[in-house]
Amino acid sequence: MMIESSPSSLGAKVVLAASSDENHPPENIIDGNTKTFWMSTGMFPQEFVIRFAEPTTIAAVTVDSYNVKHLKIEKNMSQNASQFEPVTEKEFEYTEGHLQSNAISLNGSSATHLRFIITSGYDHFVSVHRVSVKN
């Protein structure tokens, strides 16, 4: 059986996000709660990076979001949030009035950082409510 967990319970942190609204900080992405969210503040691309406490094998991630159209995921095995390699990308369907929830297979990739790049949206602003990880 696979265990799905919020990255913060694994000691993970969001170390970078392109946008900022004090009331909706990027930490909200990994707190396991879909009521709290990070919101982009205009223009694309938008990105955030999750750092794991140690190299972690990831079978899949589930992204709960709103108005995201296209998402790319990259990873690295380094201590720094740089030199990423592409893992996968996905086009999300538009949902009206409720969150998008997309499970994305990462094929057991090993990573210390995951970089999420939102290249386009269905609106000027997008939100990410939760990223959970299946080991």
Contacting positions for another protein (CB under 8 A): 19-24, 34, 37, 39, 41-44, 64, 66, 95, 97-101, 120, 123-125, 127, 129
CB-CB neighbours of 126 under 10 Å: 24
Nearer to another protein, 39 or 61 (CB): 39
Nearer to another protein, 14 or 68 (CB): 68
> What's the CA gap between 46 and 37, in Å, rounded?
15
Nearer to another protein, 23 or 107 (CB): 23
CB of 114 to another protein, least distance (A): 21
Residue of 50, 63, 57 whose CA lies nearest to 104: 63
CB of 26 to another protein, least distance (A): 14
Rg (CA), the chain: 13
> What's the CA gap between 39 and 135, in Å, rounded?
26
